[in-house]
Every structure is written in structure tokens, then in C-alpha cells.
Amino acid sequence: MREILTYRLAGATKITFRPARPDDAAEIIAAVRSSAQERSYVLMEVYGKDAEAQRAYIERLDREHNLFLVATVNEKIVGILALLDSLLCSATAPALSVGVHIVRDWRGRGIGSALLRYAMRWAKEHDYRRLEADIFTTNERSVHLFEKAGFQEETCRRRSVQVGVQRISEVILTKSLR
């Protein structure tokens, strides 16, 4: 699979998918923070609290078993795809945790669906058998995106995440690649 892909969106907008680079760190954080505050708080635990932490994360990422991709329009990051080796997988069913983030102004244009198709091809080529997505139930748009791509609910962790004074549930959606 080619590392860099270019697509045309409706309206002839050219979008490029490419691996994240350390110099993307500040823009990745800004893209993630462009959505709801509670999502950004939780995502920052994964992506890094500042540009230097994000840069270090990208530099040390094992690219043989993980994929961290950005979607760009005119070299500006409008989407992010993370495929991370799942700590919960067994040797008989290697799994990847998948996350997609689309900058608010770019949602609803097919970028998320294209990123998930890329993720499924990459995972299959790297002999993974399963993808897992952990999504807040309040993020209905994201749940719909994954279900549209063939993911199915495996479980729901009721009120499992504390954000401020609110407890939010998470749904685990999975897709078999075999």
C-alpha cells in the first residue's frame, strides 16, 4: 500500500493522506482540540498535552505495527487516523485500536469513510484480524461513521469516563477483517 494517497472530494477539493511527521505536532493538537472540550481532554491523554510531547510520540511510534496518518487539504491538517496495536489482543487474534478525528469544518465530506477504508486495507496487509474503536456514546456522528463502515457493537461501558462532573458511557465497536 502506498504511504501517500491523493483523493478528490466533491467540489474537486484535493485531499492527501500521508504519515504524520514530527513537525505536524502542533497542528495535530490544534485539530484534535477543534472538537468538543471533553473529547479533546481525553484525546490529549493519547496524543500529548503539548507540541513537544506530540512530537516525541510521533518520533518513537513503531510504524511497523502502528499507523498515524493525517489528511491534508492545501497542506493543512483536516483529519487524523490512528491505528494502534491493541494491548487487549491475543496472539491468535491480533487487533488494532482505531481512531478517526475530522476537523469540524471538514466533517460530512467523506474523509472519515475514506480514512476507515485506508485503515482496513493497511490492517489486512499487516496481518491484523480485527479493528476496535472505543467511542463516547455522546459522539453519535462517530458511532454512525464506524457502523456505516461495518463495525458492530461488542459492548458498552456504562458511565465509565468521568469528564468534569459528568459520567459518559463508551461503546466498543469492532470489525473482523477475516
Is the pLDDT confidence value at 43 over 60? no
- How does pLDDT run across 79-96, given as a tens digit for each residue? 999 999 865 555 545 788
pLDDT, greater one: 103 or 162: 103
pLDDT of residue 44: 45
- How does pLDDT run across 101-137, given as a tens digit for each residue? 999 999 999 999 999 999 999 999 998 999 999 988 8
Identify the structural domains of the chain with CATH numbers, from first to last.
5-129 (3.40.630.30)
How far, in Å, CA of 32 to CA of 26, rounded?
Answer: 10
Is the pLDDT confidence value at 157 over 90? no
- How does pLDDT run across 140-151, given as a tens digit for each residue? 899 999 999 999
Q: What is the pTM of this model?
A: 0.84
pLDDT of residue 130: 92
- How does pLDDT run across 23-41, given as a tens digit for each residue? 999 999 888 887 654 454 4
